Amino acid sequence: MLIALPLSWWLMTRWLDNFAYHIPIRPSLFLLSGVSVLLITVLTIGYQSVKAAIINPVISLRTE
């Protein structure tokens, strides 16, 4: 995120400069998207970890 955020801000600013009507790009947009991606990642990994910890290992070994 440390590399992607400044790079994406710079690229989006350069791209939007070509349009007749300019809109400002606020840092809160990038912050909100970064936090939401991190939250989805943590929730997904947490769910998979809890699911793997709860299951009986004998059942997993029998099916494989």
DSSP-derived secondary structure for the chain: -TTHHHHHHHHHHHHHTTSSS-----HHHHHHHHHHHHHHHHHHHHHHHHHHHHS-HHHHHHH-
Q: Is the pTM of this model over 0.75?
A: no
Question: pLDDT tens digits, residue range 10-49?
Answer: 999 899 888 888 888 888 888 898 899 999 999 999 999 9
pLDDT value at residue 64? 64
